[in-house]
A and B are shown apart, each in its own frame.
Chain A
Amino acid sequence: MKIPWIFIAALATFMVSSINPIDAFQDQKNRARLYLTYFKLSPTDRFLDIKVTTRKDRRNVPVEGTKIEFYVTEKTNTGYLGSIITDTEGLGTLILSSKFYEVADSLNVFTFIASLTDDPNYLEAEKELEIIDAAIEVNTIDQDSLKWVQAIVRERDSTRALVISPDVDLSFLVERPLCLLPISDITSTDAKGAAMTPFPLDLPGDSEGYVTIVAKIDDSDSYGTVEQRETIRWGIPTSFDDRSQKRSLWAARANAPIILVLLVNALILATWGIILYIVNKLYQISKL
Chain B
Amino acid sequence: MNTVENSNATDIRAKSLEEIEQDLLAHIPGWRKKEKIWLIVLTVIILIGVFAYYRQVRYGLIVTAMRDYTSWGIYISNFVFFVAISLVGSLVSSILKLSNATWSSPLTRISEIIAIAAIICASIIIIVDMGRPDRFIYVIIYGRIQSPIIWDVIIIMTYLVISLLLLYISLIPDLAVCRDRLVNIPRWQKKFYKVFSLNWQGKKEQNEIIRKTSSILCIMVIPVAFAIHTVTSWLFSTTWRPGWDSTNLGPYFVSGALMAGAAVIIVAMFFIRNSMHLKEYITDKLFDQMGKLLVLLSLVYLYFNINEYLGPSFKMVGVEGEHITELFFGKYAYMYWLVQIFGMVIPIVVLIFKQARKPVPLLLISFLVILGAWVKRFLIVIPSLQHPYLPIQDVDESYLHYVPTWEEWAITSASFAGVLLIITLIIKLVPVIPIWEMAEENGLKIKWS
Contact = CB atoms under 8 A, between A and B. Distances in A.
Contacts of B198: 282, 285-286
Given A275-B165, A285-B206, A288-B206, A253 B146 contact: yes
B216 A278 contact: yes
Contacts of B158: 268, 271-272, 275
B346 interface: no
A274 B220 contact: yes
Interface residues of A, number: 26
A253 B150 CA distance: 11
B162 A275 contact: yes
Contacts of A232: none
A253 B144 contact: yes
Contacts of A282: 168-169, 172, 198, 209, 213
Interface string A273-288: 0110111011011111
Contacts of A264: 145, 151, 154
A277 B213 CA distance: 9
Contacts of A101: none
Contacts of B168: 282
Measured as residues with beta carbon below 8 angstroms from the partner, the interface class of chain B is 20 to 34
A209 interface: no
A278 B161 CA distance: 11
A108 B299 CA distance: 87
Interface stretch (A55-63, A122-130, A217-225, A255-263): A255-263
A250 interface: yes
Most buried by B among A275, A282, A285, A288: A285
B199 A286 contact: yes
A62 B14 CA distance: 83
Nearest to A265: B145
A253 B168 CA distance: 37
B134 interface: no
A261 B168 CA distance: 32
Contacts of B201: 288
Most buried by B among A256, A257, A261, A282: A282
B32 interface: no
Contact of A288 (B145, B165, B203): B203
Contacts of B144: 252-253, 256
Interface string B38-68: 0000000000000000000000000000000
B30 interface: no
Interface string B180-217: 00000000000000000011110101100110110011
B146 A251 contact: yes
B145 A278 contact: no
B209 A281 contact: yes
Contact of B145 (A260, A275, A281): A260
Contacts of B31: none
Given A271-B158, A271-B220, A282-B169, A260 B146 contact: yes
A275 B206 contact: no
6 residue pairs, one from A and one from B, having the closest CB atoms: A286-B198, A253-B144, A285-B198, A286-B199, A249-B146, A256-B145
28 contacts: A250-B146, A251-B146, A253-B143, A256-B145, A256-B146, A261-B145, A264-B151, A264-B154, A268-B154, A271-B158, A274-B216, A274-B220, A275-B158, A275-B161, A275-B162, A277-B216, A278-B169, A278-B213, A278-B216, A279-B165, A281-B213, A282-B168, A282-B169, A282-B213, A285-B200, A285-B209, A287-B199, A288-B209
Given A272-B158, A282-B169, 12 more contacts: A249-B146, A256-B145, A261-B145, A264-B145, A264-B154, A271-B224, A275-B158, A275-B165, A282-B209, A285-B210, A287-B199, A288-B199
